[in-house]
A and B are shown apart, each in its own frame.
Chain A
Amino acid sequence: QLQLQESGPGLVKPSETLSLTCTVSGGSISSSSYYWGWIRQSPGKGLEWIGSIYHSGSTYYNPSLKSRVAISVDTAKNQFSLKLSSVTAADTAMYYCARTEYYFDVSGYTFDYWGLGTLVTVSS
């Protein structure tokens, strides 16, 4: 059974960089069929797609966050990571990693396996 697990600091100071890692078990991140993504959820903005990555390293970001986001993949460790720079209180949210089904017809994504999520609070 595929499992995803987020890890990283739960508290980040304003203006600093949020860094999270997602470890995938029960399957290979190098599977040709899937992308891997980050989604966040906050009371104010609901569910928001941050971005997705293919095992080759190709990345796709939400334009609203693109200037501050970097997603990378480490196939040897079966992990992918998120960095979000210059964070503010508005970035306080539950962050989820998820396996992403990519639909080539429309360049669209659904999310079929999710991690448990990790709460990140931005505060000094």
Chain B
Amino acid sequence: DIQMTQSPSTLSASVGDRVTITCRASQSISSWLAWYQQKPGKAPKLLIYKASTLESGVPSRFSGSGSGTEFTLTISSLQPDDFATYYCQQYYSSPPTFGQGTKLEIK
């Protein structure tokens, strides 16, 4: 299975900050990467697929980049609603696998 590693595990930031979360794959996955947002007690929500394509309805302050083994999720200006846990997921090969998550906390 392809291992997905996210960093940092926890990130403290303030409203208005620009933040970046990194996801690394144990082998090349081209651009077959998705990002999800999960809030406490809720299911994950698909934000980005194909590394950089925003899912319909996702605010433009979210962006994704990368290819191969290294990927980033950037939030350009944090809003109160963005404090959540973020997961990356590869779908280059089966089984699809997820990163361990990055918890974005209010500083």
Binding site for B on A (CB under 8 A): 46-49, 60, 62-64, 96, 98, 101, 103, 106-112, 114-117
**Does A110 contact B91, Cβ atoms closer than 8 Å?**
yes
**Does A106 contact B44, Cβ atoms closer than 8 Å?**
no
Binding site for A on B (CB under 8 A): 1, 30, 32, 34, 36, 42-46, 49, 55, 87, 89-101
**Does A110 contact B94, Cβ atoms closer than 8 Å?**
no
**Does B89 contact A110, Cβ atoms closer than 8 Å?**
yes
**Does A49 contact B96, Cβ atoms closer than 8 Å?**
yes
**Does B32 contact A106, Cβ atoms closer than 8 Å?**
yes
Complex CA distance for A103 and B36, rounded to whole angstroms: 18
**Does B46 contact A112, Cβ atoms closer than 8 Å?**
yes
Residues of B within 8 A of A63 (CB): 95
Q: Which residue of A lies closest to B95 (CB)?
A: A62
Query: B32 contacts which of A64, A108, A111 (Cβ < 8 Å)?
Result: A108
**Does B43 contact A64, Cβ atoms closer than 8 Å?**
no
Residues of A within 8 A of B97 (CB): 49
Residues of A within 8 A of B30 (CB): 106
Residues of A within 8 A of B36 (CB): 111
